[in-house]
Amino acid sequence: MDKNRLEELKEIAKVIRRDIITMLGEAGSGHPGGSLSAADIVTALYFEVMNINPEDPYWPDRDRFVLSKGHAAPVLYAALAERGCFDKDELKTLRKLGSRLQGHPDMKKLPGVDMSTGSLGQGLSAANGMALAGKLDKKDYRVYVLLGDGEIQEGQIWEAAMAASHYKLDNLTAFLDYNKMQIDGHINEVMSPEPVADKFRAFGWHVIEIDGHDMEQILNAVEEAKKTSGRPTIIIAQTVKGKGVSFMENQVGWHGKAPSAEQVEEALKELA
């Protein structure tokens, strides 16, 4: 990857983080922690990896993205707006009455959203269906899904993991946003999913472990996934909850709390 391009992607990720903070401050509610931790992954997908057309969001041959951890909708909305799927001014309407930008993504209202999500544990099953449909229709599109680490405590995730392996869905790549925190605390204190990598290997997946804030590692992992045949891939991305904003980093309390006007100003200075 060209170094200049890597720097461009890092700058886009910064813009995405600034937009997350701004829209959450405007809304007065929402989920900053897990949105910020996923910003580098989502930036890599929407601005380098995925084959999509913002002018034709329902193009049948596009790559698909499922935000299984639907409460992190701000990172998806920020990426879609920056990619040109809708006007960035609309970000100011997050969670407001009548807005297309609901607290969780709605595929029937917002172009560019491939799956309505919010009930945790369901996104991988939906992504499986998209990937299997691609196989049956002999399409070459790829499907990406972003999972939360607290989310993988859900049993449906493991049923879906088993099915993806059984049907050899090598056109499916999952990312695990492994920031190790959920709304009630540290994941290992709530319900430990460890050993995560070994579990997915046992379910027949190709496993890649990376730093989820290293753009080059993210892109290299995606390329490795594309070259993997006969089984799905999961990229376990070690991330930091609230990444980029010092007072939010590794703080459980910022899972689902919007910043005040003063905190927005402070955060934006750090992300300048």
Percent of residues, the chain, with pLDDT higher than 70 = 100
Does position 1 have pLDDT exceeding 80, yes or no?
Answer: no
**Over the stretch 76-109, which tens digit does the pLDDT of each residue have?**
999 999 999 999 999 999 999 999 999 999 999 9
**Over the stretch 193-249, which tens digit does the pLDDT of each residue have?**
999 999 999 999 999 999 999 999 999 999 999 999 999 999 999 999 999 999 999
Task: Write b or e for each residue in 233-267: b if 16 or more Cβ atoms lie within 10 A of its Cβ, otherwise e.
Answer: bbbbbbbbbbbbbeebbbbbebbebbbeeebbebb
Q: What is the distance between the alpha carbons of residues 96 and 81, in angstroms, rounded to a whole number?
A: 17
Of 269, 216, 271, 265, nearest to 242 (Cα)?
271
**Over the stretch 148-181, which tens digit does the pLDDT of each residue have?**
999 999 999 999 999 999 999 999 999 999 999 9
Q: Which top CATH class is 3-270?
A: alpha beta
At residue 173's C-alpha, the angle toward residues 172 and 179, to 5°, is 150
State the chain's mean pLDDT as an integer: 97
Report yes or no on whether pTM surpasses 0.95: yes
